[in-house]
Amino acid sequence: MQGLMNDDRNADGPDAAHTRPAGLGDKTVEALGKLSEALETVERARGRLFDLHQLIGHADLMLDDAVALLRAAGHGRTADRVRDEVVGRNVIAGRWTFQIVEDFEDGYYAAFRNVEREAREELAGGRRHLYEAEMKEQRRTHGQTGHEAVPNEFGA
């Protein structure tokens, strides 16, 4: 993707935060874009981890009703088994889902976010989404309503 330099930008171009710094090559922009895309995929996985956390928690609380209903229906032994073997059980060895979430966030997720941010800071002055910003410039129709470079409050 051919880059857009700050001094080549016209009044209908991206804001400075989405314009590549002078001298930043296409391969670096592409690499940072791929790193950002990978982080976005991890963000999606993080959301699913929170889904797991909330779904398991909800299921565990629903077991209270199941145990009460089994007991009321005369199935005390089955109610006891559900209560003793499943209610409050660790999801993985020694951990409930909140602990899994915490371990993920404090370990892998924090490291990934830091590496991505530091790479952007070191290589692109902290600018985000340069690859996408340049793709937008290539794909939009200049002067067409709905194809503006930036929101109107930025003075495009």
Mean pLDDT of 82-109: 98
What Å distances lie between residue 22 and 32, 59, 86, 132, CA to CA? 16, 54, 60, 17
Region 53-64: mean pLDDT is 98
* Residue extents of the structural domains in the chain: 22-134
Percent of the chain with pLDDT over 90: 83
* % of the chain surpassing 70 pLDDT: 90
The lowest-confidence range among 1-5, 23-27, 30-34, 113-117 is: 1-5
Answer yes or no: is pLDDT of 4 > 50: no
